[in-house]
Amino acid sequence: MRKLSAPGLPLHGEARLRATAGSGTDVCITKECASTLRCLAVLLLVLPTLAWPQEPSVTQSHPGDDYTINVNVDVVVLHATAEDRKGTLVSGLAKDDFQVYEDGVLQQTKYFSHEDIPVTVGLVIDNSGSMRPKRADVIAAALAFARSSNPQDQMFVVNFNEKVSFGLPDNTPFTDQVAQLELALSRIDANGETALYDAVVAALDHLKKGNRDKKVLIVVSDGGDNASKHNLTQIMAMVGCPDVIIYTIGIFDREDEDRNPHVLRQLANDTGGETFLPESSKDVVPICERIAHDIRNQYTLAYVPTNRKRDGSYRVIQVKASAPGGGSLLVRTRTGYFAPPTVPSAAAKANRP
């Protein structure tokens, strides 16, 4: 049986495509974001238009052997939340209700869906000394989030004070069991300082081990960073890669000199998440339930950038939406991404001294 295959390659945004056809009809496409049957149908139609301006290579040796086609495909995948002016989630929108702009240029949406897809989600929980009186509320909120989430979600816990540790056992990278999460959240005493940036770095790295299409972090802290080896500039460079949505919850004490809500806002705004600054830790439970509802009601849009340059530049994204009856909506999604740098060709590599 002959097969055609396009091995998965690193892409802009979050998509990696692989097409394999047996007997001319058996086709499978997998990618890191928004893998659905409808996406399969759409991508099969548009694959010829997604290739960068270079000829695909086809290798054939004998009848019956595998054919191999290498195709560079760049797709930007966005997860977007639509709200009305009252902050209420808006469902039932169609592809034509959205307009996607990159650096001010309107893009053609190649794929669109509104489905409750499972996610890989990390709960990044501050366990510094000042969190001690708030821990019970935070644990209750994290468990409420788990109960309100998709049953197929992959979850993990990052606990941090001046040190960073994973709550689940070493042989359990993820769980969908509330009882395991409760134990993971309770494994560390609240004391010490706050290494927020180091905890976010550890969580971002662990997200890569998950196999769900969408990646999410929920960061809960009551103070600014005062113990990390990493800095804010490094963190923001890492979240500039469009494969994670970050929600942040700041439970600040008014007299805390280390409080820094700007950091939490920046993490959320740049990735399409949301920041919450409740007056009391008692409010964290409904906030986490709202975040779970938000995640499960997002739209997924994908487009092929009209700017095909591989120059490592930052591309600004804006998504607009209109309600079916008229009137603009508020859309939350990531604010941009870094284009990949130029990859030297095989011939250029071979000619290097």
pLDDT tens digits, one per residue of 146-172: 999 999 999 999 999 999 999 999 999
| Helix, strand, coil content of the chain in percent (nearest 5) | 25, 30, 45
Amino acid 347 reads A
Q: What is the secondary structure of 38-87 as a DSSP string?
A: HHHHHHHHHHHHHB-SSPPEEE--STTSPEEEE--B--EEEEEEEE-TTS
Spans in the chain with pLDDT lower than 50: 1-72, 348-349
User: pLDDT for 234-269, tens place per residue?
Assistant: 998 888 765 799 999 999 877 767 677 899 999 999
H runs (alpha helix) in the chain: 37-50, 135-148, 178-185, 196-207, 232-239, 261-271, 284-295, 346-350
Q: Residue 37 has what pLDDT? A: 34
Q: Could you give the C-alpha distances from 108 to 85, 113, 303, in angstroms and in order?
A: 26, 15, 6
Q: Residue 241 has what pLDDT? A: 66
Residue 103, φ and ψ in degrees, nearest 5: 50, 40
CB 130 within 8 A of CB 222: yes
Q: Residue 70 has what pLDDT? A: 32
Which DSSP letter does residue 223 get? Answer: S
Q: Residue 306 has what pLDDT? A: 95
